[in-house]
């Protein structure tokens, strides 16, 4: 993989850190360097191989960890606006009396600033790419693009009228518009995102799947998040949500099924057979008391599982370092087996696994020559990261997002020394505080 000999100049050399490549061999380089030209990684290797290189800019990791940016495979970014608005409530009370009324007040401006706030939080905590499902996704794409983040975005589609686009036909028209507008964008990928089997009639789902496959885009959907959802589907259709999707011919390798908490053995076999990707959201599933997804079993079957935070109203933050920690621990206690979900497995889920889940593994998710430069530096000279026996262990079990000091996305430095370079944080906080007052009055 080392191509230090092939190229003697770079725009940026990220150097003097332990490089976790997260490549197919999980190659780790003590005192390594990553060379970037424009938006692309051109070489990864031992720092000594770069001694003769010229670079416009050298970023010194000072002995920290140089790794791929983390990937959040499922969120509703603008729900930052509802962070802590209502917690600790029965699900239906929470939705009907708090979240739905708040969402009814959403508009373009609110979603834009809510998403900007989410981007600020994500960049500061080491996330370089996120997958969004919400309303007004045109401004979600705008906000992510301005923030310099890589994002997969799609307008949520369901049977009833949307507060944004109205009837479903306009939802599809809007999605088509997004696809055309963002085609070939270096950062933004549009996805087709029907909400869930229980809120989408067969016709909607078939049409969405066709639109995704015709445009070679991901199809993203909530699946089997709660027991009550699965029961309702069984009552209505006589099958589980996964069986329902299978019978509609919608299961495929470009489908990302979010949550997958309540799964039968047959469901798991179907996910495996069709190479469906899964987004695992442990903290949200815990907070809403939905259940625990059988992730170790999914991984054993070779199913690709990425991590996600879900929205801020059921988490309540977007810090993937904390999500990794929770995922690693939750499945241990759930299976009474301390060996499942080891640190490296969880780290893969949040990097190359997440990229694969989103169909972006050719361009991001690992530090390899030819990939886009989505790179973060974790400062390990902190009490809670001392001493350092195994970097993977610290990243999963001891680190937090606040340990990330530098973030580079698509070759652009978007955060340095904990300071955001692409977002006016003061402005975003002021606007969101104003919006919060509008929401509760």
- Regarding 101 and contact with a copy of itself (CB under 8 A), the answer is no
**Nearest CA among 300, 159, 315, 304 for reference residue 218:** 304
Closest distance to a copy of itself from the beta carbon of 48 (Å) = 23
Q: Looking at residue 186, what DSSP letter applies?
A: S
Q: Could you write out the DSSP letters of every residue in 234-246?
A: HHHHSS-HHHHHH
3-state secondary structure 57-87: EEEECCCCEEEECEEEEEECHHHHHHCCCCC
Nearer to a copy of itself, 212 or 378 (CB): 378
- Contact window for a copy of itself (CB under 8 A) among 137-145, 174-182, 211-219, 317-325: 317-325
30-50 burial code (b ≥16 CB/10 A, e <16):
eebbbbbbebbbbbbbebebb
Exposed / middle / buried, residue 269 (Cβ in 10 Å: 0-12, 13-18, 19+): middle
Number of residues that bind a copy of itself (CB under 8 A): 72
- Residue 409 token pair: 């996305």
3-state helix, strand, coil in the chain (%, to 5): 40, 25, 35
20, β-bridge pairs: 28
The whole-angstrom separation of Cα 302 and Cα 296 is 10
- Contact window for a copy of itself (CB under 8 A) among 30-38, 192-200, 267-275, 314-322: 314-322
- Regarding 441 and contact with a copy of itself (CB under 8 A), the answer is no
Which parts of 407-426 interact with a copy of itself (CB under 8 A)?
A: 425
Which parts of 106-165 interact with a copy of itself (CB under 8 A)?
A: 117-118, 120-121, 124-125
- Residue 321 token pair: 């370092």
Nearer to a copy of itself, 63 or 202 (CB): 63
- Pattern 180-219, a copy of itself, x by CB under 8 A: ----------------------------------------
Secondary structure element (H or E) that encloses residue 392, with its range: helix 391-393
Nearer to a copy of itself, 302 or 387 (CB): 387
- Regarding 400 and contact with a copy of itself (CB under 8 A), the answer is yes
Which parts of 258-297 interact with a copy of itself (CB under 8 A)?
A: 283, 285-292
- Pattern 353-392, a copy of itself, x by CB under 8 A: ----------------------------x-xx-xxxxx--
The whole-angstrom separation of Cα 404 and Cα 399 is 9
Contact criterion met (CB below 8 Å) for 133 and 156: yes
Q: Which of 170, 213, 269, 335 binds a copy of itself (CB under 8 A)?
A: 335
Nearer to a copy of itself, 52 or 88 (CB): 88
Nearer to a copy of itself, 155 or 319 (CB): 319
Nearer to a copy of itself, 6 or 289 (CB): 289
- Residue 435 token pair: 């919006």
Nearer to a copy of itself, 120 or 157 (CB): 120
- Residue 253 token pair: 């390798």
The whole-angstrom separation of Cα 96 and Cα 210 is 32
- Regarding 337 and contact with a copy of itself (CB under 8 A), the answer is yes
Which parts of 61-90 interact with a copy of itself (CB under 8 A)?
A: 80-81, 83-85, 87-90
Q: Which of 251, 343, 373, 413 binds a copy of itself (CB under 8 A)?
A: 343
Closest distance to a copy of itself from the beta carbon of 30 (Å) = 15
The whole-angstrom separation of Cα 353 and Cα 426 is 34
Q: Which of 33, 162, 281, 317 binds a copy of itself (CB under 8 A)?
A: 317
Nearer to a copy of itself, 91 or 210 (CB): 91
Place of tokens 């996305």: 409
- Contact window for a copy of itself (CB under 8 A) among 143-151, 173-181, 358-366, 393-401: 393-401
Q: Which of 272, 397, 412, 416 binds a copy of itself (CB under 8 A)?
A: 397
Q: What are the distances in angstroms from CA 254 to CA 217, 218, 321?
A: 7, 5, 26
């Amino acid at each position: 993989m080392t191509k230090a000999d092939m190229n003697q100049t770079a725009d940026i050399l990220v150097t003097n850190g332990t490089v976790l490549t997260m490549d197919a061999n999980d190659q780790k380089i003590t005192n390594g360097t990553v060379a970037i030209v424009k938006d692309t990684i051109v070489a990864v290797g031992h720092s000594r191989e770069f001694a003769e290189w010229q670079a416009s800019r050298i970023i010194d990791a000072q002995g920290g960890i140089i790794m791929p940016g983390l990937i959040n495979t499922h969120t509703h970014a603008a729900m930052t606006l509802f962070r802590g608005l209502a917690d600790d409530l029965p699900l239906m009370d929470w939705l009907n009396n708090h979240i739905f009324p708040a969402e009814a007040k959403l508009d373009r401006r609110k979603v834009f600033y809510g998403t900007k706030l989410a981007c600020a939080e994500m960049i500061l905590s080491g996330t370089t790419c996120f997958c969004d499902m919400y309303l007004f996704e045109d401004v979600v794409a705008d906000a992510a693009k301005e923030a310099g983040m890589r994002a997969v975005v799609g307008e949520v589609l369901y049977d009833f009228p949307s507060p944004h686009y109205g009837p479903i036909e306009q939802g599809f028209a809007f999605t088509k518009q997004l696809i055309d507008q963002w085609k070939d964008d270096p950062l933004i990928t549009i996805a087709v995102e029907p909400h869930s089997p229980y809120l989408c009639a067969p016709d909607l789902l078939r049409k969405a799947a066709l639109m995704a496959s015709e445009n070679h885009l991901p199809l993203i959907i909530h699946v089997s998040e709660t027991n009550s959802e699965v029961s309702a589907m069984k009552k209505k259709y006589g099958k589980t949500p996964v069986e329902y999707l299978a019978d509609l011919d919608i299961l495929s390798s470009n489908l990302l099924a979010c949550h997958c908490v309540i799964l039968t053995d047959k469901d798991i076999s179907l996910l495996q057979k069709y190479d469906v990707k899964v987004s695992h959201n442990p903290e949200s599933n815990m907070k809403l008391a939905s259940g625990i997804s059988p992730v170790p079993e999914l991984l054993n079957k070779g199913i690709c599982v990425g991590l996600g935070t879900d929205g801020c109203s059921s988490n309540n933050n977007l810090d993937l370092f904390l999500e990794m920690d929770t995922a690693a621990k939750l499945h241990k206690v759930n299976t009474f087996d301390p060996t499942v979900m080891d640190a490296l497995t969880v780290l893969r889920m949040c990097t190359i696994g997440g990229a694969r889940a989103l169909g972006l593994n050719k361009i991001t998710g690992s530090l390899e020559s030819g990939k886009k430069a989505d790179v973060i530096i974790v400062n390990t000279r902190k009490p809670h990261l001392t001493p350092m026996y195994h970097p993977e262990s610290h990243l999963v079990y001891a680190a937090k997002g606040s340990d990330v000091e530098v973030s580079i996305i698509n070759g652009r430095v978007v955060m340095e020394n904990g300071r955001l370079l692409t977002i006016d944080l003061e402005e975003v906080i002021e606007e969101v505080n104003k919006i919060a007052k509008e929401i509760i009055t």
